Structure formats: structure tokens, C-alpha cells
Chains A and B, each alone.
Chain A
Amino acid sequence: MYSEFIETLFVTGKLAVATTILLFIIGLPVSYMLAFARFRLKILLEALISMSMVLPPTVMGYYLLVAFSPQNGFGKFLEHYFDLRLAFTFEGILIASVVFGLPFMIQPLQNGLMSLPESLREVSYTLGKSKTTTFFRVLLPNIKPSIITGIAMTFAHCIGEFGVVLMVGGDIPGVTRMASIAIYDEAQALNYTVANRYSLILFLISFVLLTIIFSVNKRHKV
């Protein structure tokens, strides 16, 4: 029982860390593009990225499950050419979690970049610096609160993920069972002590992360 508890927490932590790292890597270029580039369909892209903020998680979970299914085109393609099955696997819930977590990383980064004076970027260009150098040496270091907010929000949101992960990953102990799903299972089985343990841990993690976000933002406002 205890080892299952630890195993579930380990899967939850692994998914949250992997999702946050992947989303940070994806979020940097995407947020830069959304903040500064002008192109047709930009609004559509922004809406698509933000969908998970309003869409019921089960809807996105359903679509991803259908896409990952080896019976259908994309899932069949992955299995045939890469011997990769995403439905009911850790890799599957990782992709689902990344897709679902997009706005929690990208929006803070995009807002941070847009809040900087345009002259910072422009003066760097007139000093001969490339867009890449300007991004990493001038822009990113000046949006630290947004970076911390993005990382903390993504991590906290992923820890508490339920609907998408349940749809795509099922509830396989040690593979796709997350703490949030385990709480439901344990409560259904009337194991309130274990459910309480999971709940307390998730509560504390979320509370600590939100406190970090608020204190960082407050420090940078003063």
C-alpha cells in the first residue's frame, strides 16, 4: 500500500517535471512569436493555445485518446513506423499534459515580453546584437517574474491534472495513475486516510507554489 502511494507520487512528480521542462522549451519561441511577430491567423493560434483554459478536460482528453488510438490514422502511423503507442502510456499522458498546459506557460511569458519597453529590443539591435542574443541576454533576464510564474503555474496545474490524464492514460498504477486520480479512487473505496494523505500533499505543493508566485511578483513591483 505504502509503495503504491510513493509510486503514484513519483509518477505525478515525474509528469509535472517533464511537462514543465518541455513546456518551457516550447514556450520560449512560441511566446516570442506571439509577442512580436505579425502574421495572419495569429489570433487563431492564440485561441487554440488558450483552449484548455475554457474547454472541459475530458473533451481534449477524448480527442487525444481518439488520435492516439492504434485503430486510427495518427496512432496507427506511430505504431507502424516508430513502434510507439501513446494511449494508456506515460508518453501519452506527457503529450496530453503538455498540450493541456500550453496556456499556463505561454501566457505569462508572452505577457512578460510584451510588458517590456520596445526600446530595449531596438537599442540592442542598433548595438549590433542579433535577435537571438537580444532574446537571451536582454529580454529573458528582464522577465524573471513571468518565467517563475509560468514555471510554477505549469507545475501546479500539472500536479492537479485529472480529466485529460484519466482519459488518455486510464488509471494504471505505477504508469499513469496520478495523485489526483488516486484521491478519487481511494475516496470511492472509502480509504479516507490515504485520500487525505494525497490531498494534503497536493494542497501543500499548490499553496507553496502560489506563495512563491505572489512573493516574486510583489518583490518585483516594489
Chain B
Amino acid sequence: MIQIDVERKMLTTDGIRKLEVCVEIPQYELVCLFGRSGAGKTTLLRMVSGLFKPDKGIIRIGDRIVFDSSRKINLSPQKRNVGYMFQDFALFPNMSVEENIRFAQGEKDHKAVENLLETFQLIRLRNQSTLKLSGGQKQRVALARAFARKPEVMLLDEPLSSVDMELRLSLQNEILASHQLFQSTTIMVSHDKDEIKRLATRVMRIGKEKVVAFENPTDL
């Protein structure tokens, strides 16, 4: 389970606003984060990953408290074991597909790399520079790399925003399949209602300031 009960001031186009989030996400869920632009979806993901520090509150992942303002606990992103897939995929241009995945491993595990390359259909591309990949291929590498560290929580920040409709459907299947395979509790930002209905087990809607509530994807 992930417990998030935090506050953080955000600078938006409407001035400074306070984002308040108080939710508990059960283990293995694939939760879609939904809300208008600037509502704080990415800010929330960054707070969970440790890239942003909340002003106050607590974040617990399983049994571990990764942030607690009252006890001055703030684990660095390196210590949280949270996978993060950025909108731009952030693949390392100086490394091949395989090197990107190997880099992510804590301890070298050749078999695990082979499994990931196979799972994400990257065997043929393993030695290719990431600069030469298509949008869909980049996404598969980014997913494989994020899973290489076996994260407890996977955060996907609009992973399908830059791909066309046809590719989108096949990549949605891959996200679904990898979520089922690796069983990481997943929070995914999406604006697409069809996509949410297809993938999410729950929906978290960020309203003007607060995370309003969990919703059933079919209720959107």
C-alpha cells in the first residue's frame, strides 16, 4: 500500500496554489491520475519519487516511511525504489538499448536483462543507439529500464502522450501486460478517458487543489 498525505505549494499560471493530497493506494493497483493541466499531477509523482520535497506530510510505501516532515525523514530518490518514466522517456543517448537497461540494475544480472529485452521485444534492437529509435520503441526501452530495478512503485508520467493512436493501443497493452507481470503498484498520469477506462483499476482525480477521491474508471 502507498499512503500519501502531503501538501506542497505550487507555482502555476494562476499564481501560487497549494496542492493537498490524502490518499491510500492498495498494493498492485494501476491507478490513473486524472485532472486538468497544471492541477499538480506531475508534482504529485515527483513528490512520491523524491524529486520534489513536500512542504509537510507523510509518504509511506509499504512498511517504509520515505517522507515524514514531522520526523524530518526524507529519503533520496536513490533510496526509494520507485520507478519513474518521464514524458520524454529520458533515455541515455550515450548508451545502447541494452546498456540503458544494464545501467539501471543494482547488481548485474545477465539473465534478468535478457528477460527484459525479450518481454519488451527489444532483442533485435539491443545494440542500437537510443537516438535512432521510434517513439514506441523508446517507450518500451524506458519501461524495461524502469522495471530493471524491480521497483515497488512505478510512476508513469503521460507515457503515451507523444505517440499516434495506432501505436497507442499497442503500447497500452504493453503497460497492462508489464503491470501484471511485474506487479508494481502503478500510478499513471493520463488525460485520455478511453485509455483510463482500458488500463486503470482506479482513478484518482485531482480537482482544483485536492485529490478529490477515487473513482471507478467506468464512471468517468
A residues in contact (CB < 8 Å) with B? 117, 119-120, 122-130, 137-138, 141-142
Contact = CB atoms under 8 A, between A and B. Distances in A.
6 contacts: A122-B84, A125-B50, A125-B76, A127-B145, A127-B149, A138-B92
A122 B82 CA distance: 12
Given A120-B92, A122-B77, A142-B92, A128 B86 contact: no
B78 A130 contact: yes
A128 B106 contact: yes
Given A117-B88, A126-B82, A142 B51 contact: no
Contacts of A117: 88, 90
Contacts of B146: 126-127
Nearest to B87: A119
A138 B94 contact: yes
A126 B88 contact: no
Interface in B50-95: 50-51, 76-84, 86-88, 90, 92-94
A120 B77 CA distance: 14
Contacts of B76: 125
Interface residues of B, number: 26
Contacts of A138: 92, 94
Given A127-B103, A138-B92, A122 B86 contact: yes
Interface string B101-140: 0011010000000000000000000000000000000000
A126 B94 contact: no
Contacts of B80: 126
A135 B163 CA distance: 30
Contacts of A127: 103-104, 145-146, 148-149
B161 to A, nearest CB: 14
Contacts of B87: 119
B90 A141 contact: no
B90 A119 contact: yes
A142 B94 CA distance: 6
B190 interface: no
A103 to B, nearest CB: 26
Contacts of A123: 84, 86, 90
A125 B94 contact: no
B49 interface: yes
A117 B91 CA distance: 10
A117 B104 CA distance: 18
A126 B84 contact: yes
A137 B103 contact: yes
A135 to B, nearest CB: 13
Highest count of chain A CB atoms <10 Å: which of B49, B86, B106, B146: B86
Contacts of B83: 126
A123 B82 CA distance: 10
A168 to B, nearest CB: 40
B91 to A, nearest CB: 8
B92 A125 contact: no
Contact of B90 (A120, A129, A130): A120
A138 B94 CA distance: 7
Contacts of B81: 128
A184 to B, nearest CB: 45
A201 B22 CA distance: 70
Contact of A125 (B51, B88, B103): B51
A120 B100 CA distance: 12
Nearest to B106: A128
B52 to A, nearest CB: 10
Contact of B88 (A119, A128, A142): A119
Given A125-B51, A125-B76, A125-B78, 13 more contacts: A122-B51, A122-B77, A122-B90, A123-B90, A126-B50, A126-B80, A126-B83, A127-B145, A127-B148, A128-B104, A128-B149, A129-B103, A142-B94
Given A119-B86, A137-B103, A126 B51 contact: yes
A125 B77 contact: yes
